[in-house]
Amino acid sequence: MAQFQDVSQKSTLHPKPTGLVLQYGTAGFRTNAKQLDHIMYRMGLLATLRSKKTKATIGVMVTASHNPEEDNGVKLIDPMGEMVTPAWEGYATQLANAEQEDLLTALKDIIEREAINMNQEANVFVGKDTRSSSARLSQAVLDGVSALGGHSKDYGLVTTPQLHYMVCCQNTQGRYGEATVEGYYRKLSQAFIQLTKNVPNRTDDQKHLSVDGANGIGALKVREMEGHLKRELQISLFNDGTSGKLNHQCGADHVKVQQKAPTGIEMNTGERCCSFDGDADRIVYYYSDSAGQFHLLDGDKIATLISTFLKELLTQAGLDLKIAVVQTAYANGSSTHYLEDTMKVIVTCTKTGVKHLHHAAQEFDIGVYFEANGHGTVLFSKTAEQKIQQLAKDPNSNDERKRSALLLQNTVNLINQTVGDAISDMLLIEAILAIKGMTVQQWDTIYTDLPNRQLKVKVSDRRVIDTTDAERRAVSPAGLQEAIDSLVKKFRQARSFVRPSGTEDVVRVYSEAETQESADDLAHEVSLAVYRLAGGVGDEPKPLH
Ligand code: 16G
Ligand code: MG
Question: Using one digit for the tens of pLDDT, what is the confidence trace for 324-357?
Answer: 999 999 999 999 999 999 999 999 999 999 999 9
Per-residue pLDDT averaged across 434-461, rounded? 96
Q: What is the pLDDT of residue 350?
A: 98
- Say how many C-beta atoms besides its own lie within 10 A of residue 400's C-beta: 11
Q: Which of 327, 352, 506 to mutate to test the pocket of ligand 1 (most atoms within 8 A of CB)?
A: 352
| Rounded Cα gap, residues 16 and 330, in angstroms | 37
Around 446, how many Cα atoms within 13 Å sit in the side-chain half-sphere? 27
- Pick the ligand that lies closest to the CA of residue 26: 1
Position 411 scores a pLDDT of 98
pTM (predicted TM-score): 0.96
Q: pLDDT value at position 92?
A: 97
Please give the average per-residue pLDDT across 270-284, as a whole number. 98
Active site members:
65
Residues paired with 75 in a beta bridge = 61
d(CA 221, CA 381): 29
Residue 281 alpha carbon, nearest atom of ligand 1: 8
Which residue has the least CA distance to atom 10 on ligand 1? 27
pLDDT of 504 reads 83
What pLDDT is attached to residue 198? 85
Average pLDDT over residues 207-226: 98
CA–CA distance, 283 with 212 (Å, rounded to integer)? 10
CA of 281 to the centre of ligand 2 (A): 5
Q: List the shell of residues around ion ligand 2, using CB closer than 5 Å.
A: 65, 277, 279, 281
The alpha carbon of 161 and the centre of ligand 1 are apart by a number of angstroms equal to 15
For residues 122 and 145, give the distance between their C-alpha atoms in angstroms, rounded to a whole number: 9
**8 A C-beta contact, residue 254 and residue 73:** no
pLDDT of 212: 98
pLDDT digits (tens, 9 = 90+) for 10-28: 999 999 999 999 989 888 9
Residues 286, 255: Cα–Cα separation, whole Å: 9
Mean pLDDT across the chain, nearest whole number?
96
Do the Cβ atoms of 356 and 376 come closer than 8 Å?
no
Dist. CA 121–CA 52, nearest whole Å:
6
In this structure, which ligand is nearest to the CA of 28?
A: 1
Residue in 123, 99, 153, 102 with CA at minimum distance from that of residue 48:
123
Task: Name the residue with the closest Cα to ligand 1, atom 2.
Answer: 353
**pLDDT for the residue numbered 429:** 98
Amino acid at 285: Y
- 1: pLDDT strictly greater than 80: no
Ligand 1 pocket mutation, candidates 74, 83, 282, 354, criterion most atoms within 8 A of CB: 354
Ligand 1 centre and the CA of 353: distance in Å? 5
Q: What is the pLDDT of residues 54-80, one digit of tens each?
A: 999 999 999 999 999 999 999 999 999
Give the C-alpha separation, 158 to 258, whole Å.
27
pLDDT at position 545 is 86
Tally of helices (H runs) and strands (E runs) in the chain = 18, 19
503, pLDDT greater than 90 = no
Could you tell me if 415 and 429 are in contact, meaning their C-beta atoms sit under 8 angstroms apart? Answer: no
Task: Identify the residues whose C-beta falls under 6 Å from ligand 1.
Answer: 26-27, 352-354, 371, 373, 375, 501-504, 508
Q: Is-contact 387 412, C-beta < 8 A?
A: no
> What is the rounded average pLDDT of the residues 90-106?
96
Q: What's the whole-number mean pLDDT along residues 33-52?
A: 98
d(CA 451, CA 517): 8
| 233 — pLDDT class (breaks 50, 70, 90) | very high
DSSP codes of every residue in 139-168: HHHHHHHHHTT-EEEEEEE--HHHHHHHHH
Whether residue 2 is predicted with pLDDT greater than 70 in this model: the reply is: no
What separation in Å is there between the alpha carbon of 410 and the centre of ligand 1?
30
Q: What pLDDT sits at residue 505? A: 87
Cα–Cα distance list, 302 to 285, 297, 331 (Å): 8, 7, 11
For ligand 1, what atom is nearest to the CA of residue 371?
A: 12
- Indicate whether 371 pLDDT > 90: yes
266 burial (CB, 10 Å; 0-12 / 13-18 / 19+) is exposed
Which residues, in sequence order, are CB contacts of 535 under 8 Å at separation 6+?
459, 460, 461, 464
Q: For residues 357 and 326, is the Cβ–Cβ distance under 8 A?
A: yes
What whole-number distance in Å separates Cα of residue 336 and Cα of residue 338?
A: 5
Collect all residues with Cβ–Cβ distance below 8 Å to 120 and sequence separation of at least 6: 52, 55
Question: What b/e readout covers 104-133, taking b as 16+ CB neighbours within 10 angstroms?
Answer: eebbeebbeeeebeeeeebbbbbbbbbbeb
Out of 76-85, 323-332, 393-402, pick the least confident. 393-402
Alpha-carbon gap, residue 33 to 62, rounded angstroms: 10
pLDDT tens digits for range 108-140: 999 999 999 999 999 999 999 999 999 999 999
Atom of ligand 1 minimally distant from the CA of 419: 8
Q: How far, in Å, from the CA of 282 to the mean position of ligand 2?
A: 6
Nearest to 160 by CA among 226, 36, 38, 64: 64
- What per-residue confidence (pLDDT) applies to 100? 95
Nearest ligand by distance to the CA of 218: 2
Secondary-structure breakdown of the chain: helix, strand, coil percentages, each rounded to the nearest 5:
45, 20, 40
CA–CA dist 528, 204 (Å, integer)? 51
- Any idea of the CA torsion for 239, 242, 245, 249, to the nearest 10 degrees? -20
Mutate to test the pocket of ligand 1, among 24, 26, 66, 74 (most ligand atoms within 8 A of CB): 26
Atom index in ligand 1 nearest the CA of residue 328 equals 12
Interacting residues of 17 by C-beta distance below 8 A, sequence separation 6+: 35, 38
Atom of ligand 1 at shortest range from CA of 65: 10
* Residues listed for the chain: 545
Q: How far is the CA of 375 from the centre of ligand 2 (A)?
A: 8
